[in-house]
Amino acid sequence: MIARAGAGPLRHLVVLRHAKSAWPSGVPDHERPLAPRGRRDAPAAGRALAEADLLPDLAVCSTAVRARQTWELASGQWGTPPPVRFAAEVYAADVPELLDVVHAVPAEVDTLLLVGHNPGLEELVLDLAGDGLDDALEEVRLKFPTSAIAVLAWRGTDWPDLTPGTALLTGVIVPRGKKK
């Protein structure tokens, strides 16, 4: 399937899977924090987005602790972070739920950052991408690891115009922080 060219401005949906989380005993899944590697990788994700000129106009982030910490550390790499909306419905969401979140984004937002979890994010990327540059689609099909970033480009006048198969997966980045 080939992504169809739409009318309207070029928009980007940037999908960021939370950084590597810890598994402390007795801590509910929603409350799990980032692991040391995640605390290194999340700022690297923020730097990668800045270097790729993909800073969002708005971020929508899961309410899970590991996603919130990923957002805080990534956005801390930017001069002025954009507005963020913490959305409980992103936690453990499937594709239809994630699409509902994306479709509710105001039309004036050209670049949206969605911070959440697998398998929903990986499935969303594969569902929306009608095509991909280079081997980007294959990369996501093989593995969408923690801290992975997928960039979907599409044209539309409003976010509900983003439907399955209408975006181009322009890139996948898996930033990693360095051990000190």
pLDDT in tens, the chain (180 residues): 344 456 778 999 999 999 999 999 999 999 999 999 999 999 999 999 999 999 999 999 999 999 999 999 999 999 999 999 999 999 999 999 999 999 999 999 999 999 999 999 999 999 999 999 999 999 999 999 999 999 999 999 999 999 999 999 999 999 998 876
Q: Tell me 82's DSSP state.
A: P
Chain Cα centroid distance, residue 120: 11
H or E stretch covering 112: strand 111-116
pTM (whole model) above 0.75: yes
* Dist CA 104 CA 106 (whole Å): 6
The CA-based angle 109-64-167, given to 5 degrees, is 35
